[in-house]
Amino acid sequence: MSNISWYESSINMAKVKTYSSNIEAHPCFRMLRRSMEIVAKEKGGRLANSITDSRGQTTACDLAITFPAFPRGIGVKIDRNTGQVAFLYDNYGGYEQLASRITGEVTRNYVSIALISAMRSLGYKVEEVRSKQTETVRLVGSV
């Protein structure tokens, strides 16, 4: 049976209430968008604002990624009170492992991007290096 399910992530946006009316302006949202852009590019996909279930019903999201291997998409919803980020998708038809792998890539990229940003703010010289073998963002830096 087709059903959009919510999967809690380890991503939590601080001070989200300040941006609740314009979540796209939140610095963490911009990092999340960048992380999803990286995955979309690697998978030949694109960013969107909704996902569909196996019956074709659409669900609006704060951000979503669709790609040829999973055209229904994986969405993101952000709780405007707590900042908790959840992934949404319909895994009906054997998509559970693929969706789990993609959400893991998005999360790993997000953590790397956040770490790069934090280190830059502390005066470190860091750069983003993407590897096709690991499909993640790696951190390279020096003092």
Give tens-digit pLDDT for 89-136. 998 888 899 999 999 999 999 998 888 888 888 888 877 666 666 555
Q: Is 60 inside a domain boundary?
A: yes
* Structural domain of 61: 5-110
Angle between helices 27-43 and 96-121 (to 10 degrees): 130
Q: Is 70 inside a domain boundary?
A: yes
- Tell me which residue has tokens 């956040």: 114
Q: Is 140 inside a domain boundary?
A: no
Q: Is 126 inside a domain boundary?
A: no
Q: Is 31 inside a domain boundary?
A: yes
Full-model pTM: 0.84
Q: Is 116 inside a domain boundary?
A: no
Supply the CATH number for residue 92's domain.
Answer: 3.30.310
pLDDT surpasses 70 at 137: no
pLDDT surpasses 90 at 18: no
Q: For the chain, how many structural domains are there in total?
A: 1
Q: Do the Cβ atoms of 49 and 61 come closer than 8 Å?
A: yes
Q: Is 128 inside a domain boundary?
A: no
